[in-house]
Structure 1
Amino acid sequence: MDDSNRVTTLSDPLTLENSKETDHGVLILRILMSGMIKSYQSLLNPEHNQRKQIPCFDFELFKKQLDEKVKKLRKEKQSGDVKLVVKQIIGILTKKRYRRGPSKHFEVARDDYENRLSKAITNNEKLLLALPSFPVKCWNALKVERRMPDLAELNCLGRLYLLCKEIETVYEPGAKVILIADGPIYADIFNEPLSIAIQYKEEVINFIKKLDLEPYIIMHDMVDLISKYSTEFAEAKKISTIQVETFWHENPDNKHRKMLLENTMTNINVEKYSKDLLRSIFFDTKYNGDISELQIVKDEITKQTEISALKYAILLQAINSMELVKKCYPGCIRVTCHPKAGQLGLHLVSPKSCFNFPWNGVGVKKKNGEISVSLEDEVRRDQRYVAVYIEGEEFPFYYEEQ
């Protein structure tokens, strides 16, 4: 799940370095130091019960606010010079407001991007941006308790819409983002209910429709892409299994493997554990319960992390090795929310946010209207914010600064 904040992947395990062994204690220590929460100090604050209820979310107003931003975009004179238009579009895609990660990551694949853009522009075709993403809300109550998309996902869709509209200012056919939902193919690996992953995907599609964004954003399912090339995928997975398992067991302390485990540990389904237990494990807070129980849970989470990370790496390696996305969308511009060499990274929340994954937290609306994403366990302790519930729903749709 290349772009879901599951992990930074073992995209080419055969080229990774050898190193030494690790254990779950070291892994958890690295998690504690990884910045999952801004400040331990916030954990000392009690959870507040400030809340308000709204009858429904106003999608019409949200879209109107987006279109007000569109009106402020600088209009460029349309040019018939393909090279100039390519340059203009790349200039937009690599703006700091959109580009995530260092420009050198894009430069590695500049020639390929320019060729793909040139071909589409010459044929007067709409540009296609392919983005595997929107898996499911993370099954970790410290990050988010809501299972369906919220204001965080809505904000992300709005950002992608604005990107397409800005491209339209220099190239009339514009652009369209193809979101490739990958939650259903990873649900089993991360012990998540498949039905919830499917429901989450359908609700994101519903958001797109409610905002009238179908001309700019569509969502497909990675399951369907794999089905189109099922025979080739089966063979790729056989090879991937051998390669990744060999690397995995021979290089237990490789830095990429460690990073994979770190991210997997904070993204597997830990719903069955209490938040007190999870805080003790991830944030090193004092646990007032049975210490032996805490150790058992640590061991369970570590074991599941190892299993999920290996399965994930095998599946992703298979998908990447056969270039599945490019096969299904020839000529597309491959984008990602994980900065990496050769792919264009995109900000899905905002350039200022330490979070880049709407599904990994809750939407937070500031006084100035800016929308960000935060850990729910942190924002619910901040007296500045009130939880906003939609009538009839169990969990907040967003948190709002008072």
Structure 2
Amino acid sequence: MSGSPADEILRLVFSFRRLAHGAAADCAAGGCEQCFALHRPKVEHFIEQGVPVHFVIPAFPAKSPNPEKVLGTLPDMAERVSLEFLQELCDYTRHYYEPGARITICSDGHVFSDLVGVGDADVATYGVELETLLQAIGADAINTYGLQDAFPGFPFDEQRAMLTSQYAVPVEDVRARALKEPAARNIFGGIHRFLFEDRMATTTGRSRNSVREETKSLAYHVIQRSDAWSNLVEDFFPEALRLSIHPQVSHSQKIGIHMMRTRDNWLTPWHGVALDDGEGVRLVKRSEAEQLGATLVRRGGRDSHYIAPDVSSSLKPLIEEVAS
């Protein structure tokens, strides 16, 4: 495999790849030739033009409504660490290609907020705070794009209706694909799990079976809208390479990517919290951090992240060095 700038950039991105279970060993180890061949032409296109390689990633919709997973409705250290990673990924591509890269975050919060139990006002506030955070960390290689940019001037309900009518397939097709295709079934399983966990945590007096059936139906509609948003993003940014926060099969047109350390292949910054475990910051659910006896840290008057109980041991060498 060549050491061309295009391949080196892809090798960098693949090193953070979020692969679906059962990926081939060569793909998991850094990518086989087919992995590279799928995306190499797009990278080479930007290199030939002498402009930054452009990535798009539908992500950062809004915080989960589940208090067992997150600290609140606003971006916190989990988002900060993830955004810093994306900026650094763009910066590091300059090691192989001087113009570097840029990333457009295509926020899908308003796309399915009504389905996941998050109000449009909370989505909007989250988006404003995300922009503030991007400015605070100097993320000049990242910009954002949302449903309101695609359909400006319309209420969110109408925007969602326009998205669905122009870019969605019937939900029956989504259901049929999930039954036939392993990759689609994997996506359905992950989305259904998120919805089930969140709905169980925010409702009372209902059986697990009734909530499971309700969220099963909702999952198909979330995927329908998510796929519609994906189609719109591809229509608006046809040349860009597509990143994803969901695990992807090895030879997908989308490159699943981890933005933070985590043991859960599906966990995202908006479904979890940042935990400083002494070796770095990793992503966990809030309930997991609390079960560990972690300490909540507040910054700027807001809940920010957790520190694991034994993190002080990792500071001792630094403290001793400063003392000497």
TM-score bracket, normalised by the shorter chain, equals: 0.7 to 0.9
- Secondary structure of the corresponding residue to residue 220 of structure 1: strand
Change (3 A) 1:209 1:123: same
TM-score when scaled to structure 2?
0.77
Matched, 1:362 2:273: yes
* Distance in 2, Cα, partners of 1:303 & 1:152: 31
- Secondary structure of the corresponding residue to residue 274 of structure 2: strand
Tell me the residue number matched to 1:344. Answer: 255
Tell me the residue number matched to 1:332. Answer: 240
CA contact (8 A) 1:353 1:372 kept: no
Matched, 1:220 2:145: yes
Equivalent residue for 2:170, pick from 240, 243, 246: 240
* Distance in 1, Cα, partners of 2:178 & 2:4: 46
CA contact (8 A) 2:64 2:271 kept: yes
* Distance in 1, Cα, partners of 2:239 & 2:213: 41
Q: Letter of the 1:271 partner, please give it.
A: T
Residue 120 of structure 1 deviates from its aligned partner by 0.7
* Distance in 2, Cα, partners of 1:364 & 1:269: 24
Tell me the residue number matched to 1:264. Answer: 195
Residue 222 of structure 1 deviates from its aligned partner by 3.5
Tell me the residue number matched to 1:399. Answer: 306
CA contact (8 A) 1:151 1:398 kept: yes
Residue 351 of structure 1 deviates from its aligned partner by 6.5
TM-score when scaled to structure 1?
0.63
Q: Computing the radius of gyration over CA atoms, which structure comes out larger, 1 or 2?
A: 1
Residue 153 of structure 1 deviates from its aligned partner by 0.8
Higher helix share: 2
CA RMSD of aligned residues (A): 3.2
CA deviation digits over 1:119-169, x for unaligned, max 9?
110110111110001111111122124111111111101111221111011
CA contact (8 A) 1:139 1:145 kept: no
CA contact (8 A) 2:27 2:35 kept: no
Matched, 1:100 2:10: no
* Distance in 1, Cα, partners of 2:126 & 2:268: 15
CA contact (8 A) 1:177 1:216 kept: yes
Equivalent residue for 2:107, pick from 173, 181, 192: 181
* Distance in 1, Cα, partners of 2:98 & 2:67: 44
- Secondary structure of the corresponding residue to residue 137 of structure 1: coil
Q: Letter of the 2:274 partner, please give it.
A: G
- Secondary structure of the corresponding residue to residue 266 of structure 1: helix
Structure 1 unaligned spans of 5+: 1-81, 274-292
Change (3 A) 1:350 1:260: closer
Change (3 A) 1:83 1:208: same
- Secondary structure of the corresponding residue to residue 43 of structure 2: helix
* Distance in 1, Cα, partners of 2:269 & 2:50: 33
Report sequence identity in percent.
18
CA contact (8 A) 1:138 1:269 kept: no
Change (3 A) 1:110 1:258: same
Tell me the residue number matched to 1:201. Answer: 127
Residue 398 of structure 1 deviates from its aligned partner by 0.7
Tell me the residue number matched to 1:52. Answer: none
Higher relative contact order (CA 8 A, sep 6+): 1
Change (3 A) 1:157 1:258: closer
CA contact (8 A) 1:136 1:201 kept: yes
Equivalent residue for 2:290, pick from 380, 383, 391: 380
